[in-house]
Amino acid sequence: MSGRLEDKIAIVTGAGSGLGQASAKMFAAEGATVVCADVNGDAVTATVKDIAAAGGTATAVQAELSHEDEARHVTDVAVERYGRVDVVYACAGIAGAGTAADTSMEDWAHVIAVNLTSKWLSFKHTLPVMVAQGRGSVIVQASIGGIVGVPGIFPYAAAKGGCIAMVKQAAVDYGPLGVRVNAIAPGNIPTPLVYESYRNGGGMGAAYGVEEGLRRAAERFPLGRLGTPEENAYLATYIASDESSWTTGHVFVIDGGVTVP
């Protein structure tokens, strides 16, 4: 690795698993000091141990990020411990299977709380810090489900579409103040979230079950396979770094070409 995030302080949410975990590790390997947040305390502690074992610097914070006081606490830890925040990668999320008619109010509220509200709360309290610094990069994890129709993920898609609108709005509000806000929209990357979605009838899971559904899904990707957490992490590292300094308000699709018309 080449120090692309040297001296940066980065918050990564959902760092206990999947894409957030891979990104937290890559950010640290690229020289960032990483505040790793997740509702799963054991998992995020394990991520931080792995980062330390690899020679990096990280702190674990257990937080339910759909609760504003806990989300604010993550920013507070970063500022109190390290004095600044250069990057927030709001990656934590959950699956959200269902259709418009069969989604209950309870499921809707939960999926929106975690996949949309928590994304906002993850950077809401960091924005004043970044504005005072005159710079910062916010990355919100959306999904191709927020851009194109995917069968059986109604509340999830609504939340991800909201993430994309939120990013564009925040980008125009905060660009003049030096803060960049971008979204990442991945296609399928097998993680616990995707397995749960397929088990509950999301994507091709409804017709074919988990393993066969994922195999058939992979065939639809022009590159012939699903993605990896590391491929997503390379993109997140680019947006976190100064290499992307003239980019804001955009949705970076990373999907093996599956949404190419």
Query: For residue 11, what is the enclosing H or E element?
Result: strand 9-13
- Whose Cβ is closer to ligand NAD: residue 106's or residue 134's? 106
Cβ-based nearer residue to ligand NAD, 77 or 177: 77
CB nearer to ligand NAD: give 32 or 164.
Answer: 164
Centre a 10 Å sphere on the Cβ of residue 208 and count the other Cβ atoms it contains.
15
* In the complex, least distance from residue 146 CB atom to ligand NAD, rounded to whole angstroms: 9
Contact partners, residue 168, CB within 8 Å, separation at least 6: 249
Q: Binding residues for ligand NAD, per CB under 6 A? A: 14, 16-20, 38-40, 43, 63-66, 91-94, 114-115, 118, 141, 143, 186, 188-189, 191-194
Location of structure tokens 């916010």: 138
Task: Supply the minimum distance, in Å, between the C-beta of residue 66 and ligand NAD.
Answer: 5
Q: 120: which 2 tokens?
A: 């906002």
Shortest Cβ 65–ligand NAD spacing (Å): 4
Which residue's beta carbon is nearest to the bound ligand NAD? 18
Beta-carbon contacts of residue 75 (< 8 Å; ≥ 6 apart)? 11, 85, 125, 126, 129
Closest to ligand NAD by CB, 118 vs 241, is 118
Q: Cβ of residue 71: shortest distance to ligand NAD, in angstroms?
A: 8
Q: 187: number of CA atoms within 13 Å, CB side?
A: 21
Annotated catalytic residue within 156, 174, 195, 234: 156
The question of whether 208 is a catalytic residue gets the answer no
How far, CA to CA in Å, does 74 sit from each of 71, 80, 126, 179, 188?
Answer: 5, 10, 9, 19, 28
Alpha helices per DSSP H over 8-144: 18-29, 41-53, 68-82, 105-112, 118-124, 127-133
The residues annotated as belonging to the active site are 156
